[in-house]
Amino acid sequence: MSVFGSIRRSRPLQALLSLLALVLVYLMFFSPWSGSDTYTPEEINNLLQNKESHIVSLKKVELTAQELKQPYLDSSHFKTKNWNLKGSTMVKNNEYIRLTSTNPHLASNMFAQKPITAESFEMELTFHIHNKQATRGLVGDGLAVWFLDKPSEIGNVFGIENQFNGLGVMMDTYKNGKRGQFPYVNLMLGDGHTKYNKQTDGYETRLAGCVAKNLLNPAAGETKMRLVYIKNGYLSIDFNYFGRHEEWMNCVTLTDVHLPKVKYLGLSANTGQLFENVDIIENRMYALFKPDGSYVQSIDELEDLIRAQQRYEDDIDKVADVIHEEQEARTAKGKRTDKKDLNKKKRRSLQRLKNSERRIKERERQMRLEKYGDPDATFVRRWTKRILSAIKFIIYGLISIVLIWFAWIIIRMQRQKRRTKTTGLLD
């Protein structure tokens, strides 16, 4: 009895083969290693920050009501501009706002006086969590960023009251429960009724999170957090731990997070028996608009903006080339040495073109390295890698099928033996 003959006669094996084929199709075209030409979360967030020349069509307007910068105190009444501070906060006017210091059992929070008016926004927070004198690196409890339906009084959840309504981004530096590595960034979307369980570090109510070991005592003396929120529910958080320009590491990216319609920005911290300094240095916030003045609704809209702007800039370049050629032609007519001048200009233009091509190729190599892990990952090489991976999965699948087939035969033989023994006893 051949294997293929058995497959033709066995419907279960045919079903398994069909399922395996569907899995392979998914892995080749939809899985992360399929090499689809999509943006990484860090790239998308960079685009939203308008730090690429080809997306000038994205309009950003600073939200000054949530701004925090030095000096922090209003010179007229010596209160913090735009913010209400509660608890054990300490303001060093031209350096930082310290939410907690190296003392036990402190709690503080600060909320913007006005709610966030933007439906799509981007925020960059600069802070510093540090305590180099801590025994064996044991510190507590961390810093939290809040987007709540109303400002909170002092409480025991990183300095705010429990059962909050809105999003909490909790940078937890002390492990209370049994799970995970710390420091850990834990996201919770509260409904106003569900409690955050401090004993388990909020494990039961965790929306998403990431390990962030470099939050504590960063070598750069500060950490930056970039948060991007888009109206349709896109939420992404990056961190820059090392102070190097635009070196962001993505923590979480989610696509179905909906903040309260009225939302206040808050920052808070607390200490227990262990403690640390939590310093807030700066906060900048920007509303994200499309060219028509409406808010960016989705990532798809952003990519459409990029493509439209790129086409526009290509057209501008073509017009500029035509004007340049006309100017060269006019100059050539009025000079005896026009040919020499023209040749010089041609050589310069060719050199500029070569330099541009070199920069483009270097950029493409860098993008391929970031996306595919290989700077020379051409279309052929990517598909060769996919095909080899598919062959590997096919081989594994066939081996699994053969093993299942042999196991099925053994089971049938055992059943047949039992039937024969039973029949002999009855006879």
pLDDT per residue over 117-127, tens digit each?
A: 999 999 999 99
Kindly list the distances between the CA atom of residue 77 and the CA atoms of 73, 74, 81, 113, 240, in Å, as whole numbers in the listed order: 8, 6, 10, 16, 35
Together in a domain, 203 and 236:
yes
Is residue 49 domain-resident? yes
Given this model, what pLDDT does residue 59 score?
A: 80
Among 239, 270, 293, where does a domain finish? 293
Is residue 28 domain-resident? no
Given this model, what pLDDT does residue 69 score?
A: 95
Q: Provide the domain limits for residue 366.
A: 301-372
Contact of 151 with 179, CB cutoff 8 Å = no
Question: Which residues fall within 8 angstroms of residue 355, CB to CB, at 6 or more apart?
Answer: none
Tokens (6 digits) for 9 = 């006669």
DSSP 58-81: SEEEE-GGG-B-SS-B-TTT-SBT
DSSP 162-180: SS-EEEEEEEE-S--SSSS
Question: Which residues fall within 8 angstroms of residue 245, CB to CB, at 6 or more apart?
Answer: none
> How many Å from the N-terminal Cα to the C-terminal Cα in the chain?
31
Is residue 424 domain-resident? no
H and E: helices and strands count for the chain? 6, 15
What is the count of structural domains for the chain? 2
Given this model, what pLDDT does residue 290 score?
A: 79
CB atoms within 10 A of CB 399: 10
User: Which residue, among 316, 259, 271, has the nearest Cα to 56 in the 3D structure?
Assistant: 316
Question: Per residue in 195-207, pLDDT tens?
Answer: 999 999 999 999 9
**Ranges under pLDDT 70 in the chain:** 1-17, 19-20, 22-57, 302-382, 421-427
Together in a domain, 133 and 277:
yes
Together in a domain, 214 and 321:
no
Tokens (6 digits) for 295 = 């808010």
Distance CA 171, CA 182 (A): 9
Together in a domain, 273 and 246:
yes
Given this model, what pLDDT does residue 376 score?
A: 62
Given this model, what pLDDT does residue 55 score?
A: 46
CATH of the domain at 275: 2.60.120.200
Given this model, what pLDDT does residue 249 score?
A: 92
| Single pTM value for the model | 0.64
Together in a domain, 67 and 143:
yes
